[in-house]
A = this chain, B = another copy of it.
Amino acid sequence: MMDAMTLRIGVVGGGQLARMMIAPATELGIELRVLAEEPGMSASLAASAVGDYHDAETVLAFARDVDVITFDHEHVPQDVLASLHGAGVRVHPGPGALAIAQDKLVMRARLEELGMPQPDWAAVSTPEELQVFLDAHGGRAVVKTPRGGYDGKGVRVVSAATEADDWFAALAEDARGGALLAEELVDFSRELAQQVARRPSGEMRAYPVVETVQRGGVCAEVIAPAPHAGERVRSVAEEIGLAIAEGLGVTGMLAVELFETTDERLLINELAMRPHNSGHWSQDGAVTGQFEQHLRAVLDLPLGDPAPREPWTVMVNILGGPTEGPLEARIPAALASHPSAKVHTYGKAPRPGRKVGHVNVAGADLDDVAYEARAAASLFLD
């Protein structure tokens, strides 16, 4: 009966984002194939191949039998993406958009061209240049390595140029050279995230802007929609998301992480061109979850309704998990105490700080919903 299938997606990367595409793919009737980095990863159920995504031959062979290639992460090298493009493979998001997500300096420059609101920034190649930036911004700044950072890694708040000496030394040893990204330390009151889906043929749908709560540089909790967000904040966030998706030619899901400043401006912090932790609430809280929406978008299928199904949805990450025994051993207690909680686990071994699952709760009363979600998630920790 395989001949009845016509919608095949290949996902490069076998992490939890690929895993969470399995449910909507199976429901809608899309065949999902995953190229996993190793056996036994989160998305292993759909893994049709195991191999190194840095190797063009491996990825090309994987791509041969699918309609479109998409990603669990943004780390596939540009030469591999170019090989896919050269072989006529449909790739979403495309190499051009991914190049922007892969380099924070490129991202800042492109957002500036688009006239998007963002913190002051500069490319700094030497401690002296960083000191100039510090002097111009009250003696403090955020310094980021342009490539490879995530979840707080490759990000440092400094008040002296010497605090980035190791990164400058690494730059000097790198044959490619380059620079660090220095950013104004924004005085923000909270963080928001705006998600947009965009199809290759142009259709876009925006999710409601959400509030994200970070702890130690890692997303801990998301409240959807963002509480106390007025019409202006909601519409500006949506306009920013739509403008970036269109301006950068993003296909699939785009997440824009935003600072809301104490003087009510929105400034762009980071971009992600894939389903994103800030959108996990939508699995159980929106008519169309972000994983289904991503599949639809990369296949250039009509997009689904991103409207919330309940007044409030709260997502709480399970960070680290228990220090003894498997995560799954905690499921019975969580389900028993919280029948309205939707528990998601990723099939990953617990490890301090690691994202191993999350809990969604949706309902009419924000206090109740947040309490249930936090209480259920806490049962997966010691």
Contacts and interface: CB of A to CB of B under 8 A. Distances in A.
A5 B328 contact: yes
A357 interface: yes
Contact of A5 (B309, B326, B335): B326
A4 B327 contact: yes
Mostly helix, strand, loop or mixed at chain A's interface?
mixed
A123 interface: no
A7 interface: yes
A304 B335 contact: yes
Interface size, A (range): 35 or more
Contacts of A23: 22-24, 26-27
A305 to B, nearest CB: 4
Contact of A328 (B7, B309, B348): B7
Interface in A99-130: none
B309 A29 contact: no
A282 interface: no
Contacts of A339: 287-288, 302-305
Given A301-B332, A302-B335, A331-B301, A342 B27 contact: yes
A320 to B, nearest CB: 13
Nearest to A360: B27
Interface in A1-41: 1-7, 19-20, 22-24, 26-29, 31-32, 40-41
Q: Give the oligomeric copy count.
A: 2
A283 interface: yes
A319 interface: no
A94 B23 CA distance: 28
Interface string A306-349: 00011000000000000000111101100110011011111111
A275 interface: no
B336 A302 contact: yes
A311 to B, nearest CB: 12
A27 B340 CA distance: 15
Interface of A: 1-7, 19-20, 22-24, 26-29, 31-32, 40-42, 45-46, 283, 287-288, 296, 301-305, 309-310, 326-329, 331-332, 335-336, 339-340, 342-350, 357, 362
7 contacts: A2-B40, A4-B327, A29-B346, A29-B347, A32-B45, A45-B45, A303-B335
